[in-house]
């Protein structure tokens, strides 16, 4: 550790005020705090000093994402060799290695572009580098279909960081979850690649570069059930890189809840909302007014909605983003519940959008401040009433 510390100590004179490389000082600070805790203390106001600063918080979220990431790599290889029919003759590590080589460039591009823009903005605006992108940079690859061209990911990441975050003033000021902004951008800009009906399954050196393969969700929307619940739960289905395995995501959820970083209220209420909406749709499944395909989709067991597509990923990692989610306790329940309801509603009712989780979370992100406003307002009103009643009796 002393070796690293020496590097920072030795380079410090160069980035001090007035020195040649002063414009790099926030980069210096950024890397310093990555390794060590700042010695400086605040000079005014009340502050809570805690070892768990933003960087460590973000680090823990990334840690919670690792199971989903690793499984995503494995599943990429699995889907590939399944698509070309050589699954039985391929070993576990070969599957994993194939996925690793496919996923790694996406992660690198996402971090490279995003952090690059963050660094530039930090220098221009003269503030510290904000660590918010550490998580977004990992979330973005995980919500992408595996064969999304790298330049599209770069464009989407740049859009998300600049328009989704920096415009509002950087980390902590954004209205929407930046990773979802990236995905929404791709979804509307390049619908052919992102519609959610089909994803590209990597196929390497075959005659075609990529085999498109319908996701189970897309199949279900057109009235055929092509998955088993077990596969959907463990994640051996086609889908975006990190969203398929409910099990891996639940491991992440446990980490987030134990460390107190993710709100269990939002996760729980989102799941409840999805389940309730699934039950309501089940109730209407037999209706003759529906087309045959719709009858099938309405009728799938309500808990299947929770393990298919991006529902769990959204509920655990996207909806709980502390910046864009509702802040009040009651608000969190309402916020999560509505996300669940709207996600399943869009998924089943709207034929244009087979996956509704992204749109549901973005919509509720927009409404989160409003929900908080009314929750706080109602609270104040209730307290006020109590106070005046007492005043009258006394």
Partner 1 sequence: MSEPLFSKKNLKLLSDPLNSSNPITVQVLGICSALAVTAQLKPAVVMSISVMAVLAFANVIISLLRNTVPNRIRIIVQLVVIASLVILVDQVLKAYVYDVSKQLSVFVGLIITNCIIMGRLEAFALGNKPWQSFLDGIGNGAGYAVILIIVGFFRELLGSGSIFGFKLIPESWYITNGGFYANNGMMILPPMALITVGIIIWVQRSRNRKLIED
| Radius of gyration, alpha carbons of the chain | 23
Instruction: Select from 146-154, 218-226, 242-250, 335-343 the region that touches partner 1 (CB under 8 A).
Output: 146-154
State the chain's maximal CA–CA distance in angstroms. Answer: 87
Q: Please state, as a whole number, how many other Cβ atoms lie within 10 Å of the Cβ of residue 135.
A: 23
For residues 93, 200, 158, 178, the Cα torsion angle rounded to the nearest 10 degrees is -80
Distance of CA 12 to the CA centre of its chain: 36
Instruction: Rule CB under 8 A: choose which of 52, 120, 189, 380 binds partner 1.
Output: 189
Instruction: Select from 149-157, 293-301, 305-313, 344-352 the region that touches partner 1 (CB under 8 A).
Output: 149-157
Strands (E), 194-350: 198-202, 210-214
Q: Residues 192 to 221: which contact partner 1 by CB under 8 A?
A: 192-193
CA–CA separation, 86 vs 382, rounded Å? 65
Instruction: Rule CB under 8 A: choose which of 97, 101, 163, 290 binds partner 1.
Output: 163
Q: Give min distance, CB of 142 to partner 1, in A.
A: 22
Q: Give min distance, CB of 210 to partner 1, in A.
A: 10
Q: Is 167 in the site for partner 1 (CB under 8 A)?
A: yes
Instruction: Rule CB under 8 A: choose which of 152, 153, 296, 341 binds partner 1.
Output: 152
CA–CA separation, 265 vs 253, rounded Å? 12
Instruction: Rule CB under 8 A: choose which of 13, 149, 204, 223 binds partner 1.
Output: 149
Q: Give min distance, CB of 185 to partner 1, in A.
A: 7
Q: Is 173 in the site for partner 1 (CB under 8 A)?
A: no
Torsion region of 42: left, alpha or beta (phi above 0 gives left; psi -120 to 50 gives alpha):
beta
Q: Give min distance, CB of 76 to partner 1, in A.
A: 20
CA–CA separation, 145 vs 141, rounded Å? 8
Output 183 or 265, the one with its CB closest to partner 1: 183
CA–CA separation, 116 vs 154, rounded Å? 11
Instruction: Rule CB under 8 A: choose which of 78, 176, 185, 333 binds partner 1.
Output: 185
Q: Give min distance, CB of 74 to partner 1, in A.
A: 27
Output 3 or 188, the one with its CB closest to partner 1: 188
Output 152 or 361, the one with its CB closest to partner 1: 152
Output 75 or 365, the one with its CB closest to partner 1: 365
Q: Give min distance, CB of 176 to partner 1, in A.
A: 13
Q: Give min distance, CB of 386 to partner 1, in A.
A: 40
Residue 184: both structure tokens together = 């929404």
Q: Please state, as a whole number, how many other Cβ atoms lie within 10 Å of the Cβ of residue 328.
A: 18
Torsion region of 156: left, alpha or beta (phi above 0 gives left; psi -120 to 50 gives alpha):
alpha
CA–CA separation, 300 vs 297, rounded Å? 6
Please tell me what DSSP assigns to residue 212. Answer: E
Site pattern 100..139 for partner 1 (x: CB under 8 A)? ----------------------------------------
Output 144 or 152, the one with its CB closest to partner 1: 152
Q: Give min distance, CB of 188 to partner 1, in A.
A: 4
Q: Is 190 in the site for partner 1 (CB under 8 A)?
A: yes
CB 55 within 8 A of CB 128: no
Output 150 or 370, the one with its CB closest to partner 1: 150
Q: What are the residues whose beta carbons fall under 8 Å from the beta carbon of 163, sequence distance 6 or more?
A: 181
Q: Give the binding site for partner 1 (CB under 8 A).
A: 149, 151-152, 155, 163, 167, 185, 188-193
């Amino acid at each position: 550790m002393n070796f690293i510390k020496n590097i920072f100590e030795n380079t410090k004179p160069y980035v001090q005020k007035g020195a040649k490389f002063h414009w790099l000082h926030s980069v210096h600070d950024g890397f310093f705090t990555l390794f060590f805790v700042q010695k400086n203390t605040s000079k005014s106001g009340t502050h809570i000093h805690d070892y768990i600063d933003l960087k460590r918080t973000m680090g823990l979220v990334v840690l919670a994402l690792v199971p989903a990431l690793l499984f995503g790599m494995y599943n990429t290889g699995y889907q590939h060799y399944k698509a070309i029919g050589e699954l039985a003759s391929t070993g576990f590590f070969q599957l994993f290695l194939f996925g690793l080589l496919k996923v790694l460039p996406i992660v690198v591009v996402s971090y490279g572009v995003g952090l690059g823009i963050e660094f530039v903005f930090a220098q221009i605006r003269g503030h510290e580098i904000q660590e918010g992108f550490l998580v977004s940079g990992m979330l973005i690859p995980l919500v992408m279909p595996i064969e999304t061209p790298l330049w599209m990911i770069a464009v989407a990441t740049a859009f998300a960081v600049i328009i989704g975050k920096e415009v509002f003033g950087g980390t902590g000021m954004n209205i929407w979850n930046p990773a979802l902004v990236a995905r929404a951008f791709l979804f509307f800009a390049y619908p052919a690649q992102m519609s959610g009906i089909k994803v590209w399954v990597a196929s390497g050196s075959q005659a075609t570069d990529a085999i498109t393969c319908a996701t189970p969700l897309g199949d279900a929307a057109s009235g055929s059930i092509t998955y088993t619940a077990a596969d959907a739960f463990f994640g051996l289905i086609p889908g975006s890189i990190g969203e398929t395995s409910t099990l891996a995501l639940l491991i992440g959820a446990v980490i987030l809840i134990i460390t107190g970083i993710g709100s269990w209220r939002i996760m729980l209420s989102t799941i409840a909302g999805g389940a309730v909406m699934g039950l309501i749709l089940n109730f209407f499944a037999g209706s003759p007014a529906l087309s045959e395909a719709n009858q099938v989709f309405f009728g799938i067991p309500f808990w299947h909605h929770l393990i298919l597509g991006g529902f769990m990923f959204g509920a655990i990692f996207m909806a709980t983003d502390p910046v864009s989610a509702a802040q009040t306790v009651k608000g969190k329940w309402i916020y999560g519940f509505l996300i669940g309801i709207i996600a399943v509603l869009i998924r089943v009712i709207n034929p244009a959008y087979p996956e509704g989780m992204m749109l549901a979370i973005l919509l509720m992100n927009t409404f989160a401040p409003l929900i908080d406003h009314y929750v706080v307002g109602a609270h104040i009103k209730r307290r006020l009433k109590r106070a005046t009643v007492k005043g009258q009796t006394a």
